[in-house]
């Protein structure tokens, strides 16, 4: 009887991706550029949060955005209208961004003129959680209309993030969303995570979000100082 040879393709892919992600971090470190990976479901508010972040922080930090979408350049066009450079990655079907894609985008950016790069990952709560992009911090958005049960359904995403923005809290009065239950479920998965309640529509919580991000950038700069 012939032997069966088992090849763990996923493990090899993730290992190669991790190595490339570490190379990206080395490149960013040399230029003292901080990179944030922002993830959420479609319609969760990624672009809205990025636009709010740009408007509050572009006076103090030089920012660029890497936009990931299966198709279209709609979000990148919104970023450019704010006077911020953007690179659009059209994945053509891939449901996540990985380090090889981010490297292509980084090659199109002048890192010498930047302090912060924000990745807007593909709208998905599964695949993006598995692939290291080379970012220094992972952020995600859970919007109120999605429901408070998402940490139960997508535990890995909530486990790997440094900060969670619970967006669209202006819907709390009409949505069946239990804030206490959502937070309890998230903290059980990830005790060290920071949770911010926000509304990109009203602006509530955005200052807390940008304060968190500014603190992370400054901490990173101190760590990379000669």
**Chain position carrying tokens 């220094």:** 136
How are beta strands 86-90 and 116-120 bridged, if at all? Answer: unpaired
Express each pLDDT in 9-24 by its tens digit.
Answer: 445 566 788 999 999 9
Phi, psi of 50 (to 5 degrees): -65, -45
The answer to the question of residue 9 being in a domain is no
The answer to the question of residue 14 being in a domain is no
Question: What's the number of domains the chain is made of?
Answer: 1
- The model carries a pTM of 0.92
The answer to the question of residue 11 being in a domain is no
Reading the block at residue 103, the tokens are 């490297």
The answer to the question of residue 179 being in a domain is yes
CATH code of the domain covering residue 167:
3.40.50.300
Reading the block at residue 85, the tokens are 């450079």
Please answer whether residues 106 and 27 qualify as being in contact, where contact means their C-beta atoms are separated by less than 8 angstroms.
yes
Please answer whether residues 144 and 42 qualify as being in contact, where contact means their C-beta atoms are separated by less than 8 angstroms.
no
The answer to the question of residue 184 being in a domain is yes
Express each pLDDT in 84-136 by its tens digit.
Answer: 999 999 877 778 899 999 999 999 999 999 999 999 999 999 999 999 999 99
The answer to the question of residue 4 being in a domain is no
Which pLDDT score, from 0 to 100, does residue 15 have? 75
DSSP bridge partners of 20 = none
**73-86: string of b/e by CB count within 10 Å (b at 16+)?**
eebbebbeeeebbb
Which pLDDT score, from 0 to 100, does residue 5 have? 56
The answer to the question of residue 5 being in a domain is no
71: containing domain = 28-224
The answer to the question of residue 198 being in a domain is yes
């Amino acid at each position: 009887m012939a032997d069966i040879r088992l090849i763990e393709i996923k493990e090899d892919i993730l290992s190669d991706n991790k190595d490339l992600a570490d190379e990206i971090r080395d490149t960013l470190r040399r230029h003292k550029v901080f990179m944030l990976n922002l993830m959420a479901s479609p319609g969760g508010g990624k672009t809205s949060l990025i636009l709010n972040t740009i408007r509050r922080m572009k006076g103090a930090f030089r920012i660029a955005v890497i936009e990931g979408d299966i198709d279209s350049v709609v979000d990148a066009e919104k970023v450019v209208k704010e006077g911020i450079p953007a690179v659009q990655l059209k994945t053509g079907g891939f449901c996540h961004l990985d380090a090889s894609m981010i490297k292509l985008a980084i090659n199109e950016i002048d890192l010498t003129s930047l302090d912060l790069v924000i990745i807007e990952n593909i709208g998905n709560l599964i695949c993006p959680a598995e692939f290291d992009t080379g970012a220094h911090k992972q952020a995600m958005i859970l919007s109120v209309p999605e429901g408070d049960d998402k940490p139960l359904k997508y535990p890995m995403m909530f486990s790997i993030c440094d900060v969670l923005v619970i967006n669209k809290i202006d819907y709390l009065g009409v949505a069946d969303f239990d804030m206490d239950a959502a937070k309890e479920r998230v903290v059980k998965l990830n005790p060290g995570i920071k949770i911010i309640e926000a509304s990109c529509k009203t602006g509530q919580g955005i200052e807390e979000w940008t304060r968190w991000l500014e603190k992370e950038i400054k901490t990173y700069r101190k760590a990379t100082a000669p």
